Structure 1
Amino acid sequence: MGQTIQIQTQDGNFSGYLATPAGGKGPGIVLCQEIFGVNATMRQVADYYAEEGYTVLVPDLFWRIEHGIELSDRGADFQRALGLYQQFDEDKGVQDVGAALATLRQRPECAGQTGVLGFCLGGKLAYLAACRLPDVACAVGYYGVGIERALGEARNIRGRLVLHVAERDGFCPPEAQASIREALSGQPGVELYVYPGMDHAFARTGGEHFDKASALMAHQRSIAAFRAEMGPHYDFSALWDKHCEYEFATRDVDATMATMVAEPYVNHIPTMTGGVGYRQLKRFYQHHFVHSNPPDTTLIPLSRTIGASQVVDEILFCFTHTCEIDWMLPGVPPTGKRVEIPLIAIIKFRGDKLYHEHIYWDQASVLVQVGLLDPKGLPVAGVETARKLLDETLPSNTLMARWSESEGK
Structure 2
Amino acid sequence: MFNDITKPPLPLPTTQLTELEPGLSIVLPLSRRGHGPGLIILVPDTDQSLAIIDGVPSQMIKWAEEGYTVVEIQRRALITGAREVLTKAIQALESCDKCDPKDKVGLISYDPELWNYVAPTLPSVSTIVAGVVYSHVSDSSSLESAVVPVLRHTAGKKPGTVERQDLVKSFYYPNAKSHHFAGPFQDQFDYWAESVSHTRTLQFLKPIMNGPYFDLETIWEEHTYYEFADRSVEHTMSTMVDQPYVNHVPTLTGGIGREPLSNFYRHNFIFNNSDDTDLELISRTLGIDRVVDEFIFKFTHDKELDWLLPGVPPTNKHVEVPFTAVVNIRGDRLYHEHISWDQGSVLRQVGLMPEYLPYPYALPDGSKPAPGKQFEYRVPVAGIESAEKMRDRNSVASNQMFQYRLREVPE
Provide the rounded CA distance (Å) in 2 between the counterparts of 1:209 and 1:261.
25
Deviations 1:349-386 (A, max 9, x none): 12111111110101111111111111340121111111
SS in 2 for 1:26: coil
Residue of 313, 325, 332 corresponding to 1:352: 332
SS in 2 for 1:254: helix
Residue of 203, 206, 222 corresponding to 1:227: 206
Cα distance, 1:318 vs structure 2: 0.9
Residue in 2 that maps onto 1:260: 240
Matches within 5 A, 1:9-408: 16-22=24-30, 23-34=33-44, 37-40=45-48, 44-63=58-77, 92-94=81-83, 96-112=85-101, 113-120=104-111, 121-125=113-117, 128=120, 133-143=125-135, 146=139, 148-149=141-142, 153=145, 157-158=147-148, 160-167=149-156, 181-184=162-165, 187=166, 189-200=167-178, 201-230=180-209, 231-376=211-356, 377-393=378-394, 394-401=396-403
The 1:352–1:150 alpha-carbon spacing in structure 2 relative to 1, beyond 3 Å, is closer
Deviations 1:160-217 (A, max 9, x none): 321100016xxxxx8xx678x3042xx3x53200001211111222323222221111
Paired residues of 1:124 and 1:146 also in contact (CA < 8 A): no
The 1:26–1:366 alpha-carbon spacing in structure 2 relative to 1, beyond 3 Å, is same
SS in 1 for 2:296: strand
Q: Please tell me the residue identity of whatever aligns with 1:381.
A: A
Cα distance, 1:55 vs structure 2: 0.9
Q: Please tell me the residue identity of whatever aligns with 1:46.
A: M
Provide the rounded CA distance (Å) in 2 between the counterparts of 1:232 and 1:219.
15
SS in 2 for 1:110: coil
The unaligned stretches of length 5 or more in structure 2 are 1-14, 52-57, 357-377, 406-411
Provide the rounded CA distance (Å) in 2 between the counterparts of 1:63 and 1:286.
46
Instruction: Identify the range of structure 1 (359-368 vs 25-34) with the bigger mean alpha-carbon deviation.
Output: 25-34
Paired residues of 2:24 and 2:77 also in contact (CA < 8 A): no
SS in 2 for 1:357: strand
SS in 2 for 1:400: helix
Over aligned residues, Cα RMSD in angstroms?
2.7
Paired residues of 2:23 and 2:76 also in contact (CA < 8 A): no
Q: Percent identity?
A: 35
SS in 2 for 1:294: coil
Paired residues of 1:266 and 1:275 also in contact (CA < 8 A): yes
The 1:349–1:126 alpha-carbon spacing in structure 2 relative to 1, beyond 3 Å, is farther
Paired residues of 1:32 and 1:125 also in contact (CA < 8 A): no
Provide the rounded CA distance (Å) in 1 between the counterparts of 2:289 and 2:142.
34
Provide the rounded CA distance (Å) in 2 between the counterparts of 1:402 and 1:321.
29
Cα distance, 1:2 vs structure 2: 4.7
Paired residues of 1:124 and 1:141 also in contact (CA < 8 A): no
SS in 2 for 1:137: strand
Provide the rounded CA distance (Å) in 1 between the counterparts of 2:400 and 2:16.
59
Cα distance, 1:273 vs structure 2: 0.9
Residue in 1 that maps onto 2:7: none
SS in 1 for 2:206: helix
The 1:105–1:136 alpha-carbon spacing in structure 2 relative to 1, beyond 3 Å, is same
The 1:270–1:353 alpha-carbon spacing in structure 2 relative to 1, beyond 3 Å, is same
Instruction: Identify the range of structure 1 (371-380 vs 360-369) with the bigger mean alpha-carbon deviation.
Output: 371-380
Paired residues of 1:320 and 1:338 also in contact (CA < 8 A): yes
Provide the rounded CA distance (Å) in 1 between the counterparts of 2:276 and 2:164.
59
TM-score, scaled to structure 1: 0.79
Provide the rounded CA distance (Å) in 2 between the counterparts of 1:247 and 1:126.
46
Paired residues of 2:49 and 2:61 also in contact (CA < 8 A): no
Residue in 2 that maps onto 1:77: none
The 1:241–1:150 alpha-carbon spacing in structure 2 relative to 1, beyond 3 Å, is closer
Cα distance, 1:33 vs structure 2: 2.2
Provide the rounded CA distance (Å) in 1 between the counterparts of 2:316 and 2:199.
42
* Aligned length, in residue pairs: 355
Select the structure that is richer in helix.
Answer: 1
The 1:298–1:148 alpha-carbon spacing in structure 2 relative to 1, beyond 3 Å, is same
SS in 2 for 1:336: coil
Q: Please tell me the residue identity of whatever aligns with 1:182.
A: E
The unaligned stretches of length 5 or more in structure 1 are 8-13, 65-87, 169-173, 404-409
The 1:125–1:366 alpha-carbon spacing in structure 2 relative to 1, beyond 3 Å, is farther
